[in-house]
Chains A and B, each alone.
Chain A
């Protein structure tokens, strides 16, 4: 059974650019959540999607957005990148809310 797949694994962008990250959940999983992990802040919740609807949003600026497609694949977008956006971005999928969540390998974003 394939796990959660995130692409790309690594990205280097310059300030002011935008970036799109992709997440393919485990087959059959309909809930996809995104987290940002930094050494200083730990794991911080970005948003959660279920059946193409955003159900939850963390305390991040509007530059961070996402969407989910009918096949449950999800993308997140960060516009006008700042140096502080450098982080590991993690996607987690679960069958439904309140059940076990499995993480992808993450996308390491470096903003220079």
Chain B
């Protein structure tokens, strides 16, 4: 079983729609959860962090965490073509200090 798994995608949504990205993790002791956006040929950019159960909203982005289900998601409301990128879910297990475990990413395309 992989440490972090993301829905395989690719995901394609029309402009203005809600994009839903999902991620599950295997280590129940995981403590910190992050979403990164990576444009083609660029480095990952941190867009959301979440540490406790529930929802966290930042502009058009909402991260949701359910530790009991070992599940974290990212919702992008009012999707824009500029949101087209690969979204990476990353998990810090705590026990492994600063190491992040990454999913393989979900490629999102927002079409006009």
Contacts and interface: CB of A to CB of B under 8 A. Distances in A.
B58 to A, nearest CB: 13
Interface residues of B, number: 24
Contacts of A101: 34, 46, 90, 98, 100
Interface string B88-112: 1010101011111111110000000
B14 to A, nearest CB: 28
Interface in B28-43: 31-32, 34, 36, 42-43
A94 interface: yes
6 contacts: A90-B44, A96-B98, A98-B98, A101-B100, A103-B45, A104-B43
How many residues of A sit at the interface, in one of the four size bands?
Answer: 20 to 34
A79 B55 CA distance: 45
Interface of B: 31-32, 34, 36, 42-46, 49, 88, 90, 92, 94, 96-105
Interface of A is mostly: strand
Contact of A42 (B42, B46, B104): B104
B98 A31 contact: yes
A92 B45 CA distance: 10
Given A42-B104, A98-B31, A98-B94, A103 B99 contact: no
Given A100-B34, A102-B46, A105-B43, A45 B88 contact: no
Contact of B100 (A33, A96, A105, A106): A33
A55 interface: yes
Pick the most buried of B36, B42, B100, B103: most chain A CB atoms within 10 A of its CB. B100
B91 to A, nearest CB: 11
Contact of B98 (A42, A90, A94, A103): A94
A99 B102 contact: no
A112 interface: no
Contacts of A97: 92, 97-98
